[in-house]
Amino acid sequence: MRQITRSLVLLGPLLILLALAYILPFLGILRWSVTLPEPGLGQYRAALSDPLILSVFWRTLRICAVVTVLSVSAGYAVALLWVWGGPVARLLTELCIFIPFWISVLTRAFGWLSILSNRGLVNSWLEGAGLIAEPLALVRNEFGVIVGMTHFLIPFAVFPIASAMRSVDERVLMAARGMGAGRARIFWQVFLPMTLPGVLGAALLVFVFSIGFFVTPAILGGGRSVMVAELIYLRIFQSPDWGLAAAVSVILMIAIAGFLALLLRKMTPGDAR
Amino acid sequence: MPTPQAAELTARSIRKEFGEFVALDDVSLTIGRGAFVTLLGPSGSGKTTFLMVLAGFLPPTAGEVHQDGRDITALPPEARGFGMVFQGYALFPHMTVAENIAFPLKVSRRSGAEIRRRVAEMIEMVGLSGHGHKRPAALSGGQQQRVALARALACEPAVLLLDEPFSALDKNLRGQMQDEVRRLHREIGTTFVFVTHDQSEALALSSTVAIFDHGRLQQAGGPQEVYERPANRFVAEFLGDINILPISGAEAQGGVGHGRFEGRAIRASCGAAGATAALAVRPEHMRLELGEPAGGNAIPLSVTDLTYMGAETRLHLVSGGGTPVILSVPTAAMPAAVTPGAAVWAAWAEDRGFFL
């Protein structure tokens, strides 16, 4: 009991900050969603029946699913290199994971813009090499958004996967080898299944994170590949429709909360699988 | 009863270096067909490194490993086809007991029907009937150990290597598993190589004990031989309590050593090695006497302490010159007159003492 009281005292300031900065404003948004422009659930009906908004929801889910698969696959490879690579490979991998953390998301999005745009690095190389006559449309579309988001999210996939890989007992792999299993069999039938909980955790984490992305899709999508967060922004700042924006926000919040609950259940020790 | 497929392993002058550190130094050992050999030694003595060299997981820096006369030094572990039980069992946590045992059979491409038959057979043999569908995490330590044994033996390997398999088990379970492993060895007849740091385990289980210290093989021989005729002081002390008596004027004559301990004449049979200044006698090989015995080796001592240990009682004694001596006496045969401070005699037969 005293332990709980002490924890509450220590956590108190954080809880108060969260309440003031997060929960109170969210309650305000919840109120807007059922009162603007008139009381009722009309905005939710509108949000879930408007084909334009529904298409944004579907696009968001599609992009996030693709980004999750790409980030987790790439993250698995990076984690393998980080955990099992030689000393030099390990150091380089570590740098490549941590350096992006110090660079702002805005800078990284503009970086991709300058690489992928019509007169960017990729297109000018390809044109210079005579491989293409017209620049490829690599940005201001879903492709650009997926590239930018995947790049941002790979490190977040690496951590849970690497920690799962580190907890694999090396003797289990030795045992498999001693029984005559080759490298491919050991990877697919022993190592991958043993690290699967980490992969699932990484997938949920990346997916939840990606749903709310705003800056990267806004810059690399160029307004043509709008995702939910950008839709909310547009409905508040460009076509003042606060009630609808609030309703979409609440729907987004509920979806994320659902996935977070799933993630927490996965991560809770003692409840493995 | 050695089965036809049991192999003979020969290690010739194995040396293993890890950087500057010499983990194994000129180790030569022949492990006979169907033998049960334990590699015994304190931690860091090189016993596990030697096992890993036999298994093929560690390439030796120098030396050769032969299987039935064929040089297998360069063969990787997956091509040797030995069974191995690892410390901590190393079971596949995501597979059931049956799937764990089936894994090596699938690797060696047996037919589905044969895999099912063999898995059922192995589960039966290690006494895990009814547990086949369980994951390792749902089993006790002893049961996991049985799964590891079944998995290692599933492919009828020519050699079974075991790396401290019982170190995580409590004492009673350990005893049970030792009996189990002995039974399996008798039934299967394949060659067993077993690493342990527990000398009583080594003496109880094996046909040959190989004792390691500081990367060198100190002695290899039958349990009774290494216990009663240790090659050196390390082996003598590692295998159990031993009394070491300083001997003055030691000299050998016709296989018998003579000398004096605190003025009393002592005789002990000695081999070609001759007599030295240290005579060793195991505590249970000394007889307690209340008065001076008529002949043979005997020294006067005074009792300092008694330790009651159930079936036996240990007597802590000291000689007039201050040499400590331990004696173990069956509790039932303990004279009442022996209390701390009492003067007694310790006597032993000529062939029970040996020079170190």
The predicted-structure confidence for A23-47, as pLDDT tens digits, reads as follows 898 899 899 888 877 888 888 888 8
CATH number for the domain whose boundaries are A29-267: 1.10.3720.10
Q: A193, B78: Cβ pair inside 8 Å?
A: no
Helix ranges restricted to H, A85-120:
87-98, 105-116
Q: For B9-238, which CATH superfamily applies? A: P-loop containing nucleotide triphosphate hydrolases (3.40.50.300)
Half-sphere exposure of A31 (CA within 13 A, CB side): 6
Residue A48 has pLDDT above 90, yes or no: no
Tokens 């690497």 -> residue:
A162
β-bridge partners, B336: none
The domains of chain B are located at 9-238, 243-350
Q: Does A185 touch chain B (CB under 8 A)?
A: yes
- Which parts of chain B sit beneath pLDDT 70? 1-4, 271-273
**Which of the four pLDDT bands, split at 50, 70 and 90, describes residue A119?**
confident
pLDDT on residue B148: 94
Residue percentage of chain A with pLDDT more than 90: 38
The predicted-structure confidence for A130-180, as pLDDT tens digits, reads as follows 888 888 888 888 899 999 999 999 999 999 999 999 999 999 999 999 998
Q: How far is CA A176 from CA A9, A22, B244, B295, B318, in A?
A: 51, 51, 48, 63, 56
- Please name the CATH architecture into which domain B243-350 falls: Beta Barrel (2.40)
Q: Does A174 touch chain B (CB under 8 A)?
A: yes
Task: Give every strand in the sheet of B248-253, ordered side by side.
Answer: B248-253, B256-261, B264-269
- One-letter amino acid at A204 equals L
Residue A273 has pLDDT above 60, yes or no: no
Residues of chain A contacting residue B91, judged by C-beta atoms under 8 Å apart = 172, 175
What is the average pLDDT across A90-105?
A: 88
pLDDT on residue A271: 41
**ipTM of the complex as predicted:** 0.80
The domains of chain A are located at 29-267
Q: What are phi and psi of A87, to 5 degrees?
A: -55, -40
Q: B90, A177: Cβ pair inside 8 Å?
A: no
pLDDT on residue A270: 46
Of A175, A182, A190, the CB nearest to B84: A175
Q: Which residues of B touch A (CB under 8 A)?
A: 55, 57, 77-79, 81-84, 86-88, 90-94, 103-104, 107-108, 151, 155
- B269: Cβ–Cβ under 8 A, 6 or more apart, which residues? B255, B256, B257, B350, B351, B354
